[in-house]
Amino acid sequence: VGFETVSAEACARACAETRGCNVWVRARDAEAGACWLKRVERASDRPRVMSEGVRCAWTSGRIDKDYAREAREILKESDAAASADAVTLTVAGFGDVALTLEPTWHEPSVEFLRALASNANSCDGSCEIYRVEPGFLVQGTLRSYDVASNSATEPGPRLMERGDVGWAGEGPGPDWFVYLGARPAAHFGTRHTVFARVADEASFSVLERVVSAPSSTPGGPNTMRFIDQRPKLQVRFKTRIAPS
């Protein structure tokens, strides 16, 4: 997030008042310096230093708040959550997508989904769908201010099939996608970390409505297609789970 503030103190206050912000950076312009609100997930994380010293054009600070918790730490609070075999993605304006979790494919990713579902606010303002490719995939992010992102990867157990859910870009997340191709994804190989699958045809119908929503290719023909209005996501358990 970037905007102008009248002082470094005003930039720091904006960070303090913004959910998820714990690092602020402001240009040293006396009156109208650009202010950027950023974050690190863990208290142990060090922000990347781009420039420093008396000639640096920026000043910055860190506020001790809004650090994410590890998924396993969260799941210790509920035995039922730690063993849940399904979650639901509620796609704003479209409906619910039921996912069957596959811990034998990748346990750390499944733990991350379970931890997201354990807190009703874990996706507020941060989880969304942004990319749609008809007949190919739906892609979004599960970035959370409350649950630390998964950091582990593992080759998939087989070629991805229609409805399989994995982390995008062969990485550990938080960007994810649902494969919607009619045939196994031979072009992917097994390079993606896969951790869930779409549970039923009603959920596929919701995803197809998402794919059919107005979208565009800002980069021109034969480039990635982005949905015009990004629907927000919530992750929850199919049935309510109380803490142990």
Task: Please write the tens of the pLDDT for every residue from 206-219.
Answer: 999 999 999 999 99
- Confidence at 49, pLDDT banded by 50, 70, 90: low
pLDDT for the residue numbered 244: 47
Scored b (16 or more CB within 10 A) or e, 58-79 reads bebebeeebbbbbbeebbeebe
pLDDT of res. 80:
87
pLDDT of residue 46: 79
Question: Is the pLDDT assigned to residue 220 strictly greater than 50?
Answer: yes
On whether the pTM is more than 0.75, the answer is: yes
Model pLDDT for residues 97-131, shown as the tens digit of each residue: 999 999 999 999 999 999 999 988 999 989 999 99
d(CA 118, CA 72): 11
Question: Percent of the chain, pLDDT > 70?
Answer: 93
Report residue 85: phi and psi, to 5°: -105, 5
DSSP string for 206-240: HHHHHHHS-EE-TT-TTS--EESS--BEEEE-SS-
**C-beta atoms surrounding 98 within 10 Å:** 17
Tell me the pLDDT band of 50, cut-offs 50, 70 and 90: low
- 7: which DSSP letter? S
CB atoms within 10 A of CB 33: 20
> Can you list the domains of the chain with their CATH numbers?
2-62 (no CATH), 71-236 (2.40.100.10)
Average pLDDT (80-93) is 95
What's the pLDDT at 187?
95
Residue 150 reports pLDDT greater than 50: yes
Question: DSSP assignment of 15-54, as one string?
Answer: HHTSTT--EEEEE--TTTEEEEEE--SSTT--PPP---ST
233 pairs with which residues across the strands? 91
- pLDDT at 69 > cutoff 50: yes
Provide the pLDDT confidence category of residue 28 given band limits of 50, 70 and 90: confident
For residues 99 and 202, what is the distance between their CA atoms, to the nearest angstrom?
11
Q: Which helix (H) or strand (E) holds 178?
A: strand 175-179
Contact 130, 116 (CB under 8 A): no
243 vs 82: CA distance, rounded Å:
11
Mean pLDDT of the residues in the chain: 92
